[in-house]
Amino acid sequence: MRWIAVFVSLLLMAEATWAQTSTTDQAKTTHDREFWRSIPKNRFVVPEGQAVYPLLSELSGYLGSKDPELRDDLAYTIIAVWIHRQKEISADELNSLADEWRSNLRVGIGELETDSVLKRSFSALCLSSLAERDSKTPFLGEQRYRELLTSALAYLKDERDLRGFDPALGWIHAAAHTADLLATLAANALFRIEDHARVLEAIATRLISAHEIFAYGEQDRLARAAATIVRRKDFDAAAFDRWLTALDGTDQRVWKDSPPKIELLQNFENDSYMLRALAVDLCDGPANSGVSSARAAVMKVLQRR
């Protein structure tokens, strides 16, 4: 039986050596804060001798950081710029990032006022950069695009932590970041006409389920997603009119009580701010018949408020 003890001893020594080597390799591939700070200072040029994808993967690990500089100023900013500029990132690498960030949207979902929201929210924001790139140079494909749209809609509905800004953590902004993602997805050629109503309804649901009046521009970002739909060549005007009528009808219930119920008043204010932002957004840029009719319908609703 002595040979067994010797074998086990050798095996444990080999595992210890492997673990030490692994740790050393990891240390070699982990860059310090000054390394990341140097990239924006150097106009986001990829550092000499470095490959883009491993750096993107490393930056992705900071999306859940409580440090606003690492998470937002460095990780998100560098990721967004490189996804936009660096053409050598392969489709497989982009899809790998998309899979990781889409999975992050469910990590800790349902938690309230914990740090887990940071990874979810900033993953949604990074996904918006990927979706924008896909609109210009497609790599997702039909199935991945549909999965991403479904995940974005589910995340907008299910996120409970709606903090906009925290003095210690910086920007959190989950609703706004998801709105950005939906806006970029709505501009994609793969966005179907039946998706128009789905996204519009998701916007209304997010506003009515917030149980607070958004104070950090979330309504503006959600309005931008709606405006993107209105500007599409295949704009479903009938679906938009049904959505607007239902939203206004729900909001008018607030005036049936005196004093008004606080929950209904919060809904009314959120929707009013969103509609005002939508009206302004639709005044910008060229206006076809669909944009003009949608803007007129929104203005008519606002005039009664």
Per-residue pLDDT in tens (0 to 9) along the chain, 305 residues = 444 443 334 334 444 433 333 333 333 458 999 999 999 999 999 999 999 999 999 999 999 999 999 999 999 999 999 999 999 999 999 999 999 999 999 999 999 999 999 999 999 999 999 999 999 999 999 999 999 999 999 999 999 999 999 999 999 999 999 999 999 999 999 999 999 999 999 999 999 999 999 999 999 999 999 999 999 999 999 999 999 999 999 999 999 999 999 999 999 999 999 999 999 999 988 889 999 999 999 999 999 99
Is residue 121 situated within a structural domain?
A: yes
Is residue 172 a part of any domain in this protein? Answer: yes
Given a contact cutoff of 8 angstroms between Cβ atoms, the answer to whether 188 and 134 are in contact is: yes
Task: Pick the closest to residue 131 from 148, 116, 115, 106 (CA basis).
Answer: 148
pTM, two decimal places: 0.90
Dist. CA 85–CA 299, nearest whole Å: 39
- The three-state secondary structure class of 170 is strand
Count of domains in the chain?
1
Residue 81, domain member (yes or no): yes
Q: With beta carbons less than 8 A apart as the criterion, state whether 240 and 196 touch.
A: yes
Asked whether residue 279 is domain-assigned, the answer is: no
Answer whether 149's CB lies under 8 Å from 203's CB: no
Q: Is residue 237 part of a domain?
A: no
Q: Do the Cβ atoms of 282 and 224 come closer than 8 Å?
A: no
Amino acid 79: pLDDT: 98
Separation of alpha carbons 132 and 180, rounded Å: 10
97 assigned to some structural domain: yes
Rounded distance, CA 243 to CA 225, Å?
Answer: 14
Domain presence at residue 203: no
Burial of 29 per CB tally in 10 Å (0-12, 13-18, 19+): exposed
Q: Is residue 137 part of a domain?
A: yes
CA distance 303 to 106: 40
**Residue 11 CB-half CA count within 13 A:** 6
Range of the domain at 62: 31-191
